[in-house]
Amino acid sequence: MTLTPRLTGALLLSLLALPAPALAAPAPAPAPGPAVAAGPHRHSAAEISGFLTVFYGKHGPSRYGRDHRVSQVLKDKQRDSPQSDVLLCAQGEPRSIAVGPVTVAASAGVGWATVTTGWDTEHTDTFTAYVRLDSQPIRLDDVICAG
């Protein structure tokens, strides 16, 4: 049997008249669930580094920093050690201060960096400055002198 152009056209029209096969419908959007509360902000290594760099400045913490950006633990240490500056582990004003790389221990909730102070006699000292990751506002939590 040969198809004539008229029969071929009729066959094509009848195929076009058939309903199109159903396409998969898009999945419905998930129903909104309870809002997940974001946890408390935890300071990053970059934030801690920036804080310590500004806090210590070039020659030591400002009066404002000492009053408002340190933990009560450090305020108590300073009160109990009036002969030394517990934030610098020394007496006097350093010639220079450099903050080293920050390490963050998320499981311990703390970040720290080695701080190096330079003095007029060309000698340097180091200590470790600690910041709690969840402190609001960010503040110096403790200082451990090198020795």
Considering the domain boundaries, does residue 126 fall inside one? Answer: yes
Residues linked to residue 116 through DSSP beta bridges, in sequence order: 98, 126
Helix (H), strand (E) at residue 132:
strand 124-132
- Residue range of the domain that includes 85: 45-145
Per DSSP, helices labelled H in 5-146 are 5-17, 45-56, 63-68, 72-80
Which DSSP letter does residue 113 get?
E
Considering the domain boundaries, does residue 31 fall inside one? Answer: no
Considering the domain boundaries, does residue 35 fall inside one? Answer: no
Q: What is the pLDDT of residue 12?
A: 40
CATH code assigned at 67: 3.10.450
Number of domains in the chain: 1
Tens-digit pLDDT string for the chain (147 aa):
554 444 444 444 444 455 554 545 555 555 555 554 556 789 999 999 999 999 999 999 999 999 999 999 999 999 999 999 999 999 999 999 999 999 999 999 999 999 999 998 788 999 999 999 999 999 999 999 986
> Maximum distance among all alpha carbons in the chain?
114
Q: How far apart are CA 137 and CA 122, in angstroms?
A: 35
The SS3 of residue 106 is: coil
Q: What is the pLDDT of residue 39?
A: 63
Rounded (to 5) percent helix, strand, coil in the chain: 25, 25, 50
Considering the domain boundaries, does residue 17 fall inside one? Answer: no
Considering the domain boundaries, does residue 65 fall inside one? Answer: yes
Considering the domain boundaries, does residue 58 fall inside one? Answer: yes
Considering the domain boundaries, does residue 40 fall inside one? Answer: no
Considering the domain boundaries, does residue 104 fall inside one? Answer: yes
Q: What is the pLDDT of residue 32?
A: 57
Q: Identify residue 47 by its one-letter amino acid code.
A: E
